Homo-oligomer: A and B are copies of this chain.
Amino acid sequence: MHKQDVTIYDVAREAKVSMATVSRVVNGNNNVRKETRDRVMEVIKRLHYQPNAVAQGLASKRTTTVGLIVPDLTNLYFAELSKGIDDIAVLYKYNIIISSVENRLMKEDAVIQGLLNKQVDGVIYMSNKLSEEAAEAFKRTDTPVVLAGTVSDNLEFPSVNIDYKKADTEALNLLLNDGKKKLALVVGDKEAPINRDHRIPAFEKFVADNELEGCEIFDNIKDYSDGYNLYPELAKKGINGAIVTKDVSSVGLLNSTLDRGAKVPEDFEIVTASATQIASVVRPALTTIKQPLYDLGAVAMRMLTKLMNDEGLEDKHIVLPYELIKKQSTLNK
């Protein structure tokens, strides 16, 4: 970034107006006579003037930039969320500073502080859970924050989610209806609020309500091989149906099942709780709880634009509909 060649001052001089007028033209302020505006526009074009957004940001205290906090860029779940956010951001002319925080030395609150120092106008936070430190960092600022696809203990921050309990219950009903009675819930982290407060209670309630026996929760299944290595244990325990929260784990479990000669869905049924591209290209195709990831992101960003304009929100917590997509990994009787 070298010294800027042409500034608002050059345009003013050349167009024989004050820089205030140039500023008005640039910002679409109506208080400029048409002839003046045209003249200024002509000079802007001729000189290839481009406003310096940093200077604008310092003077106006708005950077038209929002921060995005995401665990991992290469996780399709968050990539699809981000796409929804990005599309709405473009619509409202915001740029996005993206920060991934998983497996980093830098602590989450330091990342957030860095974003705030850059004077972002707002932040969207995505994760399986809102960490303590992140929540604290957000509370210290008055920069608006929206949680997308992220469960939080307190309802302090606006959020967009689906009804995880309802979705899981519906999936469990599908399994039960197919005659599978020894069910499993396979999660990445038992303590993540989304699991602790939603999926696990829903599972336990379902098991109790239907008086099922031998059902179990499996923790710490985070990637493909975790899923792949899990099947023997499930088989030994006679489990014949599972809801798996991560789709790569689902695929690992699926492949493992097939490799060991079990039939899906006859012997064993799988429902995956996060439907990304990966779940739909494997064979047999996986039955999924389809979260509207794109929409979750888009709605979250729309909420944020309102907050950044001090417009206020009708609903602070939005719940979007999901869909249970029945494919070949369940019998679907």
Chain B residues with CB under 8 A of A208: none
Q: Is the CB of A1 within 8 A of B143?
A: yes
Q: Are B52 and A119 closer than 8 Å at their CB atoms?
A: yes
Whether A113 sits at the interface, judged by CB under 8 Å, is yes
A83 at the interface (CB under 8 A from B): yes
Chain-B contact segment, one of A38-46, A57-65, A170-178? A57-65
Most B CB contacts (10 A, CB to CB) among A52, A61, A116, A281 go to A281
Q: Which of B65, B118, B255 contacts A283 (CB 8 A)?
A: B255
User: How many of chain A's residues touch chain B, expressed as a range?
Assistant: 35 or more
Q: Is A230's CB within 8 Å of the partner chain B?
A: no
**How far apart are the CA atoms of A83 and B74 in the complex, in Å?**
7
Of A96-104, A126-134, A199-207, the one touching chain B: A96-104
Residues of B within 8 A of A116 (CB): 50
Q: Is the CB of B83 within 8 A of A73?
A: yes
Task: Give A104-143 as 1s and 0s: 1 = Cβ < 8 Å from B's Cβ atoms.
Answer: 1010000001111111110000000000000000001011
The 12 listed contacts between A and B (C-beta, < 8 Å) are A2-B142, A52-B119, A58-B58, A73-B79, A74-B80, A74-B82, A76-B79, A95-B115, A97-B97, A97-B98, A255-B281, A281-B282
Contacts A53-B119, A54-B63, A90-B104 known; 5 new A-B pairs at CB < 8 A? A50-B116, A53-B117, A54-B54, A54-B57, A224-B281
Q: Closest 7 CB pairs between A and B?
A: A53-B118, A1-B61, A54-B57, A74-B79, A53-B117, A251-B281, A54-B119
